[in-house]
Amino acid sequence: MSNTFQISITRPDDWHVHLRENKMLETVYKDSSRVFGRCIAMPNLKVPITNSRVAIEYKKQILLLSQPQKFEVYVPCYLTDEMDLEDFLIGIKNKYFFGAKLYPTNTTTNSAYGVTKIEKIFPALEILENHNAPLLIHGERTGDAIDIFDREKYFIDTELKKIINKFQNLKIVLEHVSSAYGAEFIADGKDNLAATVTLHHLMLTKEDVFNGGINPHHFCMPVVKNKEDLKILRKYACSGNSKFFLGTDSAPHPITDKENVDDIKPGIYSSPVAIELYASIFEEERSLENLEKFASFNGSNFYNLPYNDGKITLRKEEWINPEFTSNKDVKIKNFMGGQKIKWKVVSN
């Protein structure tokens, strides 16, 4: 199937991306649908997707975009303390929602409406469990006494264990797992527990964010961590382990928001180079034969979805990634913008 210079894999999916809304949506949609067959579009919009009406509206907005190829978008419901459970049940049953997303309050972009106390959403989790719908989690807990690098561990030990104990059959995805502790926890868990892994958590360490003054373009939540964390994350992602799959967490912000030193928005925009950089990582780890499992199979299997039709082909060929993605009045800094990329998509 592959030789030294070229590799073909079943069309991959992005199981965690921020497509955003309005002008931004058009641009981001184009980059995301370039190679991916399906995606889970995160619901933390300016008006978050907390009910089925907003979910249906959002999907309509997406359907208006020109579709160069089939690109299926799934949207989870944004869980809140005071949610309308009747509407939630209808949304889950009718598949307006692809499961639900838990943002503990004030942990990341547009999480102000998130959950203040995990017990508040137990009735919603019961609905998810009964309908075999997944719970996607931003697994961080904040607090004055909690170091920014320990937020994931703290969330796992206090909240996630509680959820797992109470809802033993609930399908759970720890999104953008960022620490060795988190990755080991997932690997050791039951089959209904999995994780998405981003590019940046496989490529960057905290030095890339904080050394020599903060680099806003490497600043994201959960923040990237130590070399040891990166090593363990690479080990699990590249091993083909079925509990780990591709989710870029590509999260664009206008460059003006990223470079506003008083309020740097967390989020890294990687969609334009995502599959290419994952290929580089798997190559570095001498695991290219596992890229297809991570990118095209593990997520589908976890979500009980069929594999995509068709294949994409990547060739070992250098090209320069443009520094920005611009379109009308949208300007976004690309992850690894201006840098040499070693793999190129030659057929999609």
Comparison of 9 and 204: residue with beta carbon closer to Zn ion? 204
Query: Would you mind telling me the total number of residues written for the chain in this entry?
Result: 348
> Encoding tokens for residue 161?
């264990």
245-284 binders of Zn ion (CB under 5 A): 249
Comparison of 69 and 106: residue with beta carbon closer to ligand NCD? 106
Residue 276 CA to residue 9 CA, distance in Å, equals 12
169-198 binders of ligand NCD (CB under 6 A): none
The H or E element containing residue 38 is strand 38-41
Q: Based on C-alpha coordinates, what's the Rg of the chain?
A: 19
Q: How far is the CB of 219 from Zn ion (least distance, A)?
A: 13
Comparison of 181 and 219: residue with beta carbon closer to ligand NCD? 219
250 contributes a contact to ligand NCD by CB under 6 A: no
249 contributes a contact to ligand NCD by CB under 6 A: yes
Residue 287 contacts which entry, Zn ion, ligand NCD, none (Cβ below 5-8 A, type-dependent)? none
Residue 267 contacts which entry, ligand NCD, Zn ion, none (Cβ below 5-8 A, type-dependent)? ligand NCD
31 contributes a contact to Zn ion by CB under 5 A: no
Residue 72 CA to residue 21 CA, distance in Å, equals 16
Is 188 assigned a catalytic role?
Answer: no
248 contributes a contact to ligand NCD by CB under 6 A: no
Answer yes or no: are the C-beta atoms of 139 and 118 closer than 8 Å.
no
Using alpha carbons only, what angle is made at residue 111 by residues 50 and 222, rounded to the nearest 5 degrees?
Answer: 130
Binding ligand NCD by CB under 6 A: which of 125, 220, 281, 314? Answer: 220
Q: Is 68 helix (H, G, I), strand (E, B) or coil?
A: coil
Q: How far is the CB of 292 from ligand NCD (least distance, A)?
A: 25
Residue 83 contacts which entry, Zn ion, ligand NCD, none (Cβ below 5-8 A, type-dependent)? none
Of the candidates 11, 68, 30, the residue with the CA atom closest to the CA atom of residue 312: 11
Dihedral sign, CA of 331, 333, 337, 342? negative
Which residue's Cβ lies closest to Zn ion? 249
Binding ligand NCD by CB under 6 A: which of 254, 266, 313, 327? Answer: 266
Indicate the angle between helix axes 227-238 and 180-188, nearest 10 degrees.
30
Residue 220 contacts which entry, Zn ion, ligand NCD, none (Cβ below 5-8 A, type-dependent)? ligand NCD
Answer yes or no: are the C-beta atoms of 199 and 124 closer than 8 Å.
no
Comparison of 159 and 249: residue with beta carbon closer to Zn ion? 249
Instruction: Show contacts of 224-230: CB within 8 Å, 24+ apart.
Output: 224/178, 224/200, 225/149, 225/178, 225/179, 225/180, 225/201, 228/180, 229/178, 229/179, 229/180, 229/183, 229/201, 229/205, 230/201, 230/202, 230/203, 230/204, 230/205
Q: How far is the CB of 17 from Zn ion (least distance, A)?
A: 8
Q: How far is the CB of 80 from ligand NCD (least distance, A)?
A: 16
108 contributes a contact to ligand NCD by CB under 6 A: yes
Q: How far is the CB of 248 from Zn ion (least distance, A)?
A: 9
> Encoding tokens for residue 198?
């981003």
Measured distance between the N- and C-terminal CA atoms of the chain, rounded to whole angstroms: 16
18 contributes a contact to ligand NCD by CB under 6 A: yes
User: Which residues make beta-bridge pairs with 333?
Assistant: 324
Comparison of 76 and 91: residue with beta carbon closer to ligand NCD? 76
Residue labelled with tokens 């800094």: 333
Site string for ligand NCD, 32-71 (x = CB under 6 A): ------------x---------------------------
Q: Which residues are near ligand NCD by CB under 6 A?
A: 18, 44, 108-109, 138, 220-221, 249, 251, 266-267
Catalytic residue list: 249
